[in-house]
Amino acid sequence: MKQKTRLKSILIGGLFSLFVPLGAYLYLKLNGHDGHVKLPAFYGIEKIDSHQVEEKKVYDTLYHTVGELNAIDQLGDSIHVNEMFKGKILLVNFFFTSCTTVCPVLMKNMSMMNKAFIKNDTSVRFLSISVDPETDSVPRLRKYADKLHVNHDKWFFLTGNKKQVYDYARKELYLDLPDGDGGTDDFIHPDQFVLIDKYRNVRGYYNGLDSDKVRLCAEDIAFLMLEKNKLHEKSARR
């Protein structure tokens, strides 16, 4: 019975990996992608500027740019996220290794996303950040990652300073997390996957427990891979 379940999971994952990114790519190609398709929305308005064009006021929206995160990965290497992954699309989630409730589902879906873009590993990186960095040491993260059979060059499990991790989630990604001020937390973490484009704008939030939302996330990554410039398309598909 377990063998059948495992084979079914592999089959579903394989189909997901093949058809979702391919489908989005073909959609753009067949519809003559010229920079005018409706791409994933931008999130986090920071400022709206205006200027005159032929006596008409035109508004320009400036969106939040995600700041730097300094952390350590499962191999013990220091990671400066924006610097190291410059020009890469990022998919980020939060977890902790001792979580036995929703984390296994989140990580299973993140693994499926990772496999979906295995042939596009120059464009996308996956970051799973621990909300319990004091417990989740490098060896612990390495063991956890190895159980998922991850490609260590593509999927990064990060730990680091607790306050910085929580500030990154709350102030840079606008996620609902405690302050991480050293007090006793229950290590509540969001269920969302956060999609960040290569310009470090947040482009999507997806329920990592919902297979339909995960599929949408895969489609949006495929769209961003073909995006031509930073702000050429601001309209949302939703």
Domain at 150, CATH number: 3.40.30.10
Residues in the chain predicted with pLDDT less than 50, given as ranges, are 1-19, 30, 32, 34-35, 182-185, 232-233, 235-238
pLDDT for the residue numbered 132: 93
pLDDT for the residue numbered 130: 96
Residue 236 lies in a domain: no
- What is the C-alpha R_g of the chain? 19
Nearest Cα neighbor of 167 from 113, 94, 233 is 94
pTM of this prediction? 0.79
Structural domain of residue 201, as residue ranges? 2-225
Residue 237 lies in a domain: no
| Domain count within the chain | 1
pLDDT for the residue numbered 57: 62
- Tell me how far apart the alpha carbons of residues 38 and 112 are, in angstroms, rounded to a whole number: 25
Residue 233 lies in a domain: no
pLDDT for the residue numbered 6: 45
